[in-house]
Amino acid sequence: MDNFARRRERLLSGLPGEDLDAYLISSPVNVSYLTGFSGESSHLVLMRDRALLVSDPRFTEQLAEECPGLETHIRPPTKTTLAAVAEVLNGLGLRKVGFESTALSVADWEALKELLPAVQWKGAGDRVERLRMVKDDTEVKQIREAIDIAERAFTVLCALLRPDDSEIALCDAMEGYVRRAGGRGTCFPSIMAVGPRSALPHAPPTGRTVGEGELLLVDWGVSGRFYKSDLTRVLDTRRSGALAPVARGRLEEVHAVVDRARERAIRAVHPGVKAEEVDAAARTSIADAGFGDYFGHGLGHGLGLQVHEAPALRPRSQTVLEPGMVFTIEPGVYLPGWGGVRIEDDVLVTPDGCEVLSHLPRALTRVFQVD
């Protein structure tokens, strides 16, 4: 049994207890998780003894290549996807169907109810997402590969960085570096924030150049074949030896505070610990240093087929950590008018603690020679 079949078996184990005949999986990400198919516009009908993917002629060859042995129903161009799904469900005699209420739009659900008036529908919003929180060895391997690509792209960025590079130009450049390193592309718009703009956690890029600030915050991620990575580092871009000592010390001070919070959070990661406790380890560390009012987001998020998925590491998150979970640890301090520092690593929960999967240096590194 391959990994995809094992995942379907795990999902199906809950089917009898819910008094359902089948699950209808509509989220493209969840279809990929359960089948290995990388296309879209397809729905998976999952029964106790059968799995059938409803798709269209664009993907006939791709399905044969990516999902050998998986039963498919290829709709003709004269039928819509929903009509084909209804035809399959009706033909199989299914009467009690669980559907992904977070993925299927209200309009599509209403259309299916009209096409299948005899079917009883039950919202099953997060069944697959709960399974996806714990990664198997194949998934962890692909995340490692995405991290490696991201780190190689970042190394190139640093080597070619120039004071007159703009935030926008660097975002464009990172996309190329990622692709040349073997990635499909960046998995979200890269953040390149110079100086005071780094106080915006999700700063959109502008024409501001690297040389106009004393730091550059770089937040980027990679899409591998399926799995993602997400990292952040801060670069010291100061060049003048005439900087005032107080200005010189602020960057080192804030960076040290954030790095210490990151280390404390990582030490708190163990199976059986609640996600809120890991968040609290970093949040308390930052507050003790006097910057508690300047850390306004959760500590981290799950990482896998999506760059943001469960579990969430934030205050009041009751998720209990388990071996196989992969998530980011990304504390930050953001000072309006001056700038922000965030350091982000990708972490795997292990049976006896955790493994930090990312390896780029966290130390504050000056990228330009002092004038």
For tokens 């915006």, what's the residue? Answer: 200
The neighbour count for residue 101, using CB atoms within 10 Å, is 15
Sketch out the chain's domains with CATH numbers: 3-132 (3.40.350.10), 137-366 (3.90.230.10)
Query: What pLDDT does residue 239 have?
Result: 79
Q: What is the mean pLDDT of residues 182-208?
A: 98
Query: What pLDDT does residue 337 have?
Result: 96
Query: What pLDDT does residue 332 have?
Result: 98
Cis check: omega of the bond before 76, within 30 degrees of 0: no
The neighbour count for residue 137, using CB atoms within 10 Å, is 9
DSSP 320: B
**For 248-302, how does the pLDDT look when each residue is reduced to its tens digit (9 = 90+)?**
589 999 999 999 999 999 999 999 999 999 999 999 999 999 999 999 999 999 9
Query: What pLDDT does residue 365 have?
Result: 87
**Of the candidates 115, 57, 56, the residue with the CA atom closest to the CA atom of residue 90:** 115
Query: What pLDDT does residue 248 have?
Result: 54
Query: What pLDDT does residue 252 have?
Result: 96
pLDDT band at 240 (very low <50, low <70, confident <90, very high): low
Asked if 348 and 140 touch (Cβ cutoff 8 Å), the reply is yes
Query: What pLDDT does residue 242 have?
Result: 42
Cα distance between residue 124 and residue 93, in whole Å = 20
Average of per-residue pLDDT values in the chain: 95
Secondary structure class of 305 (helix, strand, coil): coil
Q: What is the mean pLDDT of residues 198-217?
A: 97
Cα distance between residue 76 and residue 190, in whole Å = 40
**For 297-309, how does the pLDDT look when each residue is reduced to its tens digit (9 = 90+)?**
999 999 999 999 9
pLDDT band at 244 (very low <50, low <70, confident <90, very high): very low
Query: What pLDDT does residue 245 have?
Result: 44
Q: What is the mean pLDDT of residues 68-80?
A: 95
**For 6-42, how does the pLDDT look when each residue is reduced to its tens digit (9 = 90+)?**
999 999 998 888 899 999 999 999 999 999 999 999 9
Query: What pLDDT does residue 259 have?
Result: 98
User: Is the pLDDT assigned to residue 322 strictly greater than 90?
Assistant: yes
CA distances from 169 to 69, 164, 192, 271 (A): 45, 10, 9, 42
Cα distance between residue 29 and residue 223, in whole Å = 13
**Of the candidates 135, 124, 102, 131, the residue with the CA atom closest to the CA atom of residue 28:** 102
Query: What pLDDT does residue 165 have?
Result: 98
Share of the chain above pLDDT 90, in %: 93
Query: What pLDDT does residue 316 have?
Result: 97
Asked if 215 and 236 touch (Cβ cutoff 8 Å), the reply is yes
Amino acid at 332: G
Query: What pLDDT does residue 371 have?
Result: 54
**pTM for this one?**
0.94
User: Is the pLDDT assigned to residue 354 strictly greater than 90?
Assistant: yes
Give φ, ψ of 340 to 5 degrees: -140, 155
pLDDT band at 174 (very low <50, low <70, confident <90, very high): very high
